[in-house]
Amino acid sequence: MATFTLDRVIPAAPAAVFAASLDPALHVETMARYGETMVQGPADGVFTEGSTVTWRARHFGIPFRLTTVVFDINPPHRFCDRQIKGPFGAFHHEHVFIEHPEGTLMRDIITFRSPFGPLGALVDRLFMRAYMRRLIEERNDVLTVSVSARRA
């Protein structure tokens, strides 16, 4: 399994960053570069414990569908999501929010495995980990701007 951790300090309270991270509309905004849309989501438009959502996006010029479930919600400290159907052999994303003197330390812990056994492991090591890291960093850039704008 490939894994990486990203830390980002956001100048806002943990509750605000936590809420923004669970906002489906903001998620779509953060992934606009990849044409990500929500194909099927929670009926009330809010992610809660056990919510499932199906996303459609284009990566490497290939259209993908990914269905995830949101779980272990502990406001405003933590939640997780994991793939239940999609292109990865496995995908788990832990979102952690820690009070920080400058606002919130947002920590993303990503663990994933590409399909195709040893070939997928090689792809993860040579390419996919860096791609996924950049994707989450870009997502966090948009999230930071959005949360900061909401504070202003």
What are the domain boundaries of the chain? 2-151
Higher pLDDT, 151 or 47: 47
Provide the mean pLDDT of the chain: 93
2 has pLDDT over 90? yes
pLDDT at 25: 87
- Write out the two tokens for 7: 């830390």
Q: Is the pTM higher than 0.75?
A: yes
Q: What is the mean pLDDT of residues 91-116?
A: 97
Q: How big, in percent rounded to 5, are the helix, strand and coil portions of the chain? A: 35, 40, 25
From 65, 73, 72, select the one nearest 40 (Cα to Cα).
Answer: 65
What are the CA-CA distances from residue 33 to residues 36, 57, 80 (Å)? 8, 9, 23
61 band by pLDDT with thresholds 50, 70 and 90: confident
For range 45-50, the mean pLDDT: 88
Residue type, 100: H
Number of Cβ atoms within 10 Å of the Cβ of 21: 22
Domain 2-151 annotated CATH 3.40.640.10: no
Q: What are the angstrom distances between the C-alpha of 21 and each of 49, 62, 87, 97?
A: 14, 26, 23, 10
